[in-house]
Amino acid sequence: MKIVIIKYNAGNIRSVLFALERLGYHAVVSDDPGLISKADKVIFPGVGEASSAMSYLHEHGLAQVIQSLKQPVLGICLGMQLLCNFSEENQTDCLNIINRPIRQFPQLGLKIPQIGWNDIFGLKGPLFNQVPEHSYVYFVHSFYAPLSEYTLASVEYMIPYSSALQNDNFFAVQFHPEKSGKVGEQILTNFLNM
């Protein structure tokens, strides 16, 4: 199985690579559109800022490639947000694969960004096979995807919002499965088994 992790100007790519290696999978980190297009599975991770990430994707011909993918794709954290249509982070037009906006957390007295463990619930679909309701996973983010028909799992921090989304072959999680212990390993395994 050919697994490609999309390389762009966003952090945290190495930790995803190491998590896959711990599970016994070999992955390639690449920004080569041809290699990405031919992969069996594509992972689109990221920690960073939306507008500079989108600029990089457009400049390197990656935006159009990602939009054209037909194999299973997993967006993680910033990768999930970029799969949506718009981010309030610097008013950024994103990839519009999941037709929902990304919003900034309201100022309700809790610390922003949300950093740490939180429980996910309302789990649906094959991404969450053998993952118990209210499992704890690791989050680091200041922006969120509102609940919608694309929501596969929810979480609450100040407000309920989407911790996972799906549109067709595109799956996306706001949390970091590569930093979420056994639960994260199960989610990654479920994705790779699709």
Domain ranges across the chain: 3-192
Residue 171: the pLDDT is 98
For the chain, give the percent of residues with pLDDT over 90.
92
Which residues lie closer than 8 Å to 123 by C-beta, 6 or more apart?
Answer: 131, 133, 135, 152, 153, 164
Q: Report the pLDDT averaged over residues 88-112.
A: 94
Q: Catalytic residue positions?
A: 77, 176, 178
Q: Does domain 3-192 have CATH number 3.40.50.880?
A: yes
pLDDT tens profile 105-163: 988 788 999 999 999 999 999 999 999 999 999 999 999 999 999 999 999 999 999 99
Query: To the nearest whole percent, how much of the chain has pLDDT over 70?
Result: 100
pLDDT value of position 155: 98
What are the two backbone dihedrals, phi and then psi, of residue 127, each rounded to the nearest 5 degrees? -60, -25
Sheet with 84-87: strands ordered across: 92-93, 84-87, 98-104, 143-144
Q: In the predicted model, is pLDDT for residue 11 greater than 80? A: no
